[in-house]
Structure 1
C-alpha cells in the first residue's frame, strides 16, 4: 500500500492500524535487514515547515531516545526517527517495535473474566514499566488501556509518550492530561500533581481488569469527580487541595473517605482490594508508589 512518504522508504506498509489527531499508524515490515514487523507512526503537520517541529513532538522523541538506552522490557522500543518536508508540510516518522494488540483489545477479547494470575502478571509488568519511568523522573500523564500494548507472548509495554514530561516535585502543568476516565482527582481539581497521577491511572486499569469495563465513566470533569467519590468517599475539607479553583462541597459525594479494609469492589479478595485502595487514595502523597506496589503481597507472591 502507498504510505505517502517522502523519499525512499525502508518499509513495506501492510495495513493502517490506527489514526490520531496528527497522523496515522501503520503495520509494516522492514525491506532489508532483519525484516521485522514494525509499527510506523507518521505525523503530518501542515503549515510553515520553517517553524520547525512542534514542542510536544520534540519532547516525545527526546524522551523515547532517553529511555531507549535502557532497553526496558515493559517500554515500547523506538527503532528509528526521520523528518522531511513534503508539499509545504512537515512529516515526522517514528518507527516502533510492532505489538499485536493493546490492552483495550486484550480486555474486549476476554469472554468471561481474566484469571487472578493473569491480572497479577499484567499489573506486575505495568508497574515495572511505571517504576522505571518514575525512577528516571518521567511521568507518562496519559496511562490508559489504549496506550498499553500486550504481545502474543504476554509482554506488557507502555506506549505513546506524547504527553509525557520530565518532572520535579509537584508539577504545576496543564490539567488537560490523562484521558478523563483514568484522570486522578488532583488533575480534575486543577491542582499541582506528580508521578502519582500514573499510579491512579494504573489503579483504574487494575479495577478494569476485574470488571472488564472502566471503573469511573464520567463525561465531564464534575461528573467524573462525583463517580470517584461514590466509590472512595468524600475527603475531608482539610485534604482538599488548597490551590484548587474548585470549591469543596458536601454535595460532591457521600461523606467520609473509605478507610483501609473497605471493600471498594465486591468481587475482590482482601489482597487485591487493599492494593486497589492504595492506588486510588485521594491524597497524592499518601498514594502508593509503583515501586512499593511491586512489593505488595498481591504481587510479591507471584
Structure 2
C-alpha cells in the first residue's frame, strides 16, 4: 500500500487480512502517538454526481455511532478518500485495531475450551453491542466469529457492521466466497429481513463457542437450509414466508434434533436461550434487548451489566416496545 495515498498520518506496517471487502492493513497513526489502527480500503462505484448517496449515508451513520464510543463496538477513527475516477472511488476506513477475532480466540483456548462463565460474559457483551446497533436502526447483516473482535482483556467488539451497502460494489469485483454458515433462513430464502437476522447469527455463534466448531456448515443456500432443518426441523407451512420462490415442500419433513445432543456442555437456561435465537420465524426470534434480560444472564458480572447502562438512547430512536418486538 502506498503510504502517500492516504496522506502522512497513517503508516502501514503489515497486511493483516483479505476478505470479500478487500485488503486490511495494520498501520501506525503518526498523529496520535503511533497507536495501531486497522485500514480497510473499499472501492465504491462512482455515479454521475459523484459518490452514491447510499454510501454517504452509510458512512454518516458510522460516524454518528462513533460519537457514543460504545465499549462493545469497534471504533471508527477516520474516513479518507484515496482516489476517484469516473468508475470508482477508493475509500480507506480507519478503525481501532484489535489483535484477534473470536475465531482465533476459540482456536487458541486450551482443552476443554472456553469456560462456560467466560462464554456467558462474552455473549452478554456481544448482545450489548448488538442492542446498541439495533437501537440506532443498524443491522449488521454479516455477523460471524471473524468480525467479532476480542481484546487481550476479554472485551468483545463488533466490527464490519453497517457496511453491507458500502461493500456491495467491492464484493462484485472479488471472487472471495462469503460464508453462509451464520446466515438466517430468511436471508437464504431471499425473503425480506431486518434486525432478527443478526440474532440468528448470534445463536450460531453461541453454539459454536461451546462446540468449538460451526453448528451449520452448508456449501450452498439450499444445502445450508437443509443443514438448518436437520437441527430445528422443517418449519410449518404457516411459518414459511409467502413471497419466496423455494417451496416448503422442497424439503423432506423431519423432526428437530434434541438440542442437548448438539451442545451437551451448555446449561438448561443457555439451551432455552439458544432455541429462541434459532427460531425459524423471525417474528418469534428473541431480540438483543430481550435476550439481555434472559435468566441465562442472571449471574453475569455486574461490571459487564453496567458498562453501558448509563448511556441514554436519543429520543428519536426506537422505543423499548419497538426493540423488544
**TM-score scaled to structure 2, two decimals?**
0.80
Tell me, in whole angstroms, the C-alpha distance in 2 between the residues paired with 1:164 and 1:70.
22
Q: Which residue of 1 aligns with 2:181?
A: 181
Tell me, in whole angstroms, the C-alpha distance in 2 between the residues paired with 1:87 and 1:5.
18
CA-based RMSD of the aligned residues comes to 2.6
> Quick one: structure 1 residues 262 and 55, their matched pair in 2 at CA, closer, same or farther if it must change by over 3 Å?
farther
Q: Which residue of 2 aligns with 1:228?
A: 228
> Quick one: structure 1 residues 146 and 56, their matched pair in 2 at CA, closer, same or farther if it must change by over 3 Å?
farther
Instruction: Pick 1 or 2: higher relative contact order, CA cutoff 8 A, min separation 6.
Output: 2
Alignment of 1:183-198 (within 5 A): 183-198=183-198
**Residue-pair matches, total:** 286
Return the match for 1:288 from 276, 286, 289. Answer: 286
Alignment of 1:82-93 (within 5 A): 82-85=80-83, 90-93=89-92
Tell me, in whole angstroms, the C-alpha distance in 1 between the residues paired with 2:271 and 2:213.
17
Q: Deviations over 1:66-109 (max 9, x none)?
A: 21121111111111111132788633111111111111111111
> Given the alignment of the two structures, is residue 240 of structure 1 paired with residue 208 of structure 2, yes or no?
no
> Given the alignment of the two structures, is residue 10 of structure 1 paired with residue 9 of structure 2, yes or no?
yes
Runs of 5+ consecutive residues of structure 1 not aligned to the other structure: 166-177
Tell me, in whole angstroms, the C-alpha distance in 1 between the residues paired with 2:224 and 2:91.
35
Q: In 2, are the aligned partners of 1:264 and 1:273 still within 8 Å (CA)?
A: no
Secondary structure of 2:94's counterpart equals strand
> Quick one: structure 1 residues 152 and 56, their matched pair in 2 at CA, closer, same or farther if it must change by over 3 Å?
farther
Secondary structure of 1:180's counterpart equals coil
Shift of 1:249: 1.6
Q: Which residue of 2 aligns with 1:125?
A: 125
Shift of 1:128: 0.4
> Given the alignment of the two structures, is residue 78 of structure 1 paired with residue 76 of structure 2, yes or no?
yes
Higher alpha-carbon deviation: 240-249 or 5-14: 5-14
More helix by share: 2
Secondary structure of 1:149's counterpart equals strand
Secondary structure of 2:130's counterpart equals helix
**TM-score scaled to structure 1, two decimals?**
0.85
Runs of 5+ consecutive residues of structure 2 not aligned to the other structure: 167-177, 301-325
Q: Deviations over 1:179-203 (max 9, x none)?
A: 4101111111221212100000000
